[in-house]
A and B are shown apart, each in its own frame.
Chain A
Amino acid sequence: MPIAATQTSRISLQQLRKGDRGRIESTDLPADDAAMLRALGLRPDAPVRMCRMGQTCIVEVCDRLGGGCRIGLARSLAERVVVRRDEF
């Protein structure tokens, strides 16, 4: 079912579970906040991994070689970042 598949793969960053991986697709934030997240590394197509879920979550922005950084993110920001969850 393509529609269902689309619905489950495009979720907010806040909905990723611990250990889930995905890629940033878009943000629905004021320009300054969006620019800050983008400069921090949360940019379109960036691979991410959820390290801790919760009111404030921790996501790892990881490149193909394993470099990258971890970012603590308030719920108000994380729930307005759309990701494509990697399906295994």
Chain B
Amino acid sequence: MSVVEPKPEPPARPEAGGVESPSVRSLAEVPTRIAVLGNPNVGKTTLFNRLAGVRHKTANFPGTTQEAHLGRLVGGSSAASGEAKASAPLLIDLPGVYSLSLNVAEAQICRAVLAGELAPMGTTPAAPDALLVVVDATNLLRTLALAAEAAAMGKPMVVAVNQMDVARRRGLHVDADALSQRLGCPVVAISARTGDGIDGLVSALRQPVQPLKEFGGLGERSEIEAWADSVYAEVASASSPVSNKLADRLDAAFTHPLVGVGLFAAVMTGLFWVIFRLANYPMDWIDALFGWAGGTVAGTLPEGPIQSLLVDGVIAGVGATVIFLPQIVLLFFLLSLLEGTGYLARAAFVIDRLLRPFGLSGHAFVPLLSGHACALPGIMAARAVPDRRDRIATILAVPFMSCTARIPVYVLLTTLLFPGRPGLQALAFTGCYALGVVAGLVTSLLFRRTVLKGKSLPMALELPAYRLPDLRLALLTTRDRAWVFLRKAGVVILGISVVLWWLGTYPQSPPPREAVELQAVATAIETTGQEVWVLESRPAFGLVQGEAVSAAEVRAQAESIAARHSARRTVLGRLGATMQPVFEPLGYDRQLVIGVLASFAAREVFVSTMAVQVIGREDFDEDNGIQDALANAKRDDGTPVFGTATSWSLLVYYVLAMQCLPTLAVTAREAGGWKWAGLQLGWMTMLAYVLAAAAYRIALAMGAS
């Protein structure tokens, strides 16, 4: 138990004659590596962007999900160029911390970086030779404590007093010169948002000064606080009392147990409406771009394995991932703007109560909601969850949310289950979403009580002041997130796409006799002009019994038969036949098993794969008869492929199964290792298998076919 302790004497204010001249304690040369340190919410990253410009990088610290921004000190109106930029000091933006002595990941990383034991990936560990400490003019007393902790390290440093524009509006004054005297190092009053004071800060950073030696004696927290009290009394003043009435009113609404939840639902609905509404356009453009690229390559290269690899493997595989980029960009841009207003912290506060029983914190709500668009941005959004265990539990829960890629599968199966009954289809659709949410919450609860067992950080969250969002910061954050997505998920999915293409293409087999004969018939129609009549209806190809048929229609049927024949003889096709007994308890035949295996990388592939399996065409469309063909598709024993019990089983399987390799790749990256991706894959597959088998058995017991 900590109690009030008598205030120790703060370090004596330096007397004129007792202080070394700053010039003696400054670096002989411009520093090469400057660490940027500050409390969360003091505008540290906005300042970093001002100092480093837009050409900075983002890199993780090895073995962690903590990010650092890295850039050269090139900001200010006299921005350096060319060689000067390359030799400018390296700025490392450290994670925001309330105190260096805390036993939390952010503080541990800061301590290790400052000691030269750790560096962001891509840089060599070396102790920074100077510090830039950012304090907040509107919350100076608390943020000064970190400046004192930094000063105690004895490194040359500069202090930036940020948010001076906001402080002035609130009638608060900070005497930077007086603060400089008390610290013994340069102090510059700035506004990172407006750019005021940045030139002066850049100049000061080229000649940082070692703080007074007295700080070396500040060990106890109470000593640091006493020093901060003493300095605050001297350097800060106010011209009028500050009114917090507006913040009080906004907090009363945003954090109200009912009104706050309602407002949060409205804000999030608006956010996702904008994402779905606007993302469609660029997604169509990307789709068209990759389609054009595929068509161009197909038209340029001769038919063969190289063309197939590029078109069906590389372009189709990468395109299937990049198409989600607009959703990711919009989500992070809008979330960054919302975060900048101070609202997101209030939202996390309100939702915390609802998620806490499942081992999740309020911060998990945005990732879970984002997961309904796509698991990838949802998992990436989990970076906002401060506690490691909560964060990993969130990452494990997100893929259960029904993403847009599941929708084609839901559409197919609910339509097959309830043909011509849209009300029941909608009910089943909603049930899929509900099952996903329940499975995600149960998963979190289960893992928080087993492999992620441990005390959750109780909610102790700073609610930053309300302010206008920083557009520049939002754009830069979005750019960083988009790049991370493209670089990591793109590279992994490229490799996997090529492997799956190979498995689904080889060995190639010659077309069967039936296909060869039909090709010959098509050629005969073309050359002789003879009419041919259909003997047996094939609705999927527009062939009606007794009607005349064109050469193109006959050729289409020949190609369909050849495609089905070939698909069954590839490695994937043969694997489907071998694995069929494993899926027997779920009611799947050989064709369905091939569909499940082929969609292992991306679940939406199931529909096109089944179309190829059943009728040899993959352009699934509700109106063109393919759905009828799937509904009437027969197994080798003559029973329906999509029986009622099997369709229920498939629906449950696709709600719960992982079936998305980009998600696994992003999980491995965000959770800090492939073991979490492996656990996620194993758990989701097992749950999907067991519950799909149960659904199959229950449906059969209830009389379903």
Contact = CB atoms under 8 A, between A and B. Distances in A.
Interface of A: 25-28, 32-41, 43-45, 51-52, 54-56, 58, 60-61, 63, 65-74, 76-77
Interface in B209-236: 221-222, 225, 232, 236
Contact of B139 (A37, A68, A77): A68
A44 B3 contact: yes
B5 interface: yes
Given A45-B4, A55-B353, A63-B141, A73 B462 contact: no
Nearest to A33: B458
Interface of B: 1-5, 41, 98-99, 101-104, 137-142, 145, 167, 170-172, 221-222, 225, 232, 236-238, 241-242, 244, 247-248, 251-252, 255, 257, 345-346, 349, 352-353, 458-465
A66 to B, nearest CB: 3
A74 B98 contact: no
Given A25-B4, A51-B248, A73-B460, A67 B103 contact: no
B306 to A, nearest CB: 59
A74 B355 CA distance: 13
Contacts of A28: 1
Contacts of B225: 43
Contact of A67 (B140, B222, B349): B140
Contacts of B232: 63
27 contacts: A26-B3, A28-B1, A35-B103, A36-B102, A38-B99, A43-B225, A44-B3, A45-B4, A51-B248, A54-B257, A55-B353, A58-B255, A61-B142, A66-B170, A67-B137, A67-B139, A67-B141, A69-B41, A69-B139, A69-B464, A70-B247, A70-B463, A71-B460, A72-B461, A72-B462, A73-B459, A77-B460
A26 B2 contact: yes
Contacts of B142: 40-41, 61, 68-69
Contacts of A45: 4
Q: What secondary structure prevails in chain B residues at the interface with A?
A: mixed
Contacts of A67: 137-141, 167, 170, 172, 236, 238, 242
Could you say which of A28, A43, A58, A61 has the most chain B C-beta atoms within 10 Å of its C-beta?
A43
B255 A52 contact: yes
A10 B104 CA distance: 31
B463 A71 contact: yes
B241 A71 contact: no
Contacts of B459: 56, 72-74, 77
Given A27-B1, A58-B255, A58-B349, A68 B141 contact: yes
Contact of B251 (A35, A39, A56, A70): A70
Contacts of A52: 251-252, 255
Contacts of A77: 458-460
Nearest to A52: B255
Contacts of B352: 56, 74
A60 B243 CA distance: 13
A66 B141 contact: no
Could you say which of A61, A72, A77 has the most chain B C-beta atoms within 10 Å of its C-beta?
A72
A44 B5 contact: yes
B102 A32 contact: yes
Contacts of A37: 460
B238 A26 contact: no
B550 to A, nearest CB: 70
B103 A32 contact: yes
A39 B248 CA distance: 23
A37 B461 CA distance: 10
A73 B601 CA distance: 43
Contacts of B345: 72
Contacts of A33: 458, 460
A58 to B, nearest CB: 6
A39 B98 contact: yes
Contact of A51 (B102, B171, B222, B251): B251
Contacts of B248: 51
A32 B464 CA distance: 22
Contacts of A69: 41, 139, 142, 462-465
Contacts of B172: 65-67
Nearest to B145: A39
A70 B244 CA distance: 11
Given A54-B257, A69-B463, A27 B99 contact: no
Given A58-B463, A77-B458, A36 B251 contact: no
A54 B704 CA distance: 51
A40 B167 CA distance: 20
Nearest to A73: B460
Nearest to A25: B4
Contacts of B462: 40, 69-72
A27 B101 CA distance: 18
A41 B701 CA distance: 62
A44 B4 contact: yes
Contacts of A43: 221, 225
B548 to A, nearest CB: 75
B238 A65 contact: yes
Contacts of A39: 98-99, 102, 145
Contacts of A66: 170-172, 238, 241-242, 244
Nearest to A32: B103
A17 to B, nearest CB: 14
Contact of A36 (B98, B167, B170, B238): B98
Nearest to A37: B460
Contacts of B255: 52, 58, 72
Given A35-B101, A51-B248, A40 B236 contact: no
Nearest to A84: B4
A37 B142 CA distance: 12
A54 B221 CA distance: 30
B1 A38 contact: no
Contacts of A51: 248, 251
Contact of A56 (B5, B138, B349): B349
A73 B328 CA distance: 32
B237 A65 contact: yes
Nearest to B173: A65
Contacts of A68: 139, 141-142
A38 B349 CA distance: 20
Given A39-B145, A52-B251, A71 B461 contact: yes
A23 to B, nearest CB: 9
Contacts of B349: 56, 58, 72
Contacts of B242: 65-67
Nearest to A19: B248
Contacts of B237: 65
Contacts of A41: 139, 141-142
Contacts of B353: 55-56
A74 B460 contact: yes
Top 10 closest A-B pairs, CB basis?
A66-B242, A39-B98, A39-B99, A74-B458, A74-B459, A65-B238, A70-B463, A44-B4, A72-B349, A72-B461
A54 B255 CA distance: 10
A47 to B, nearest CB: 10
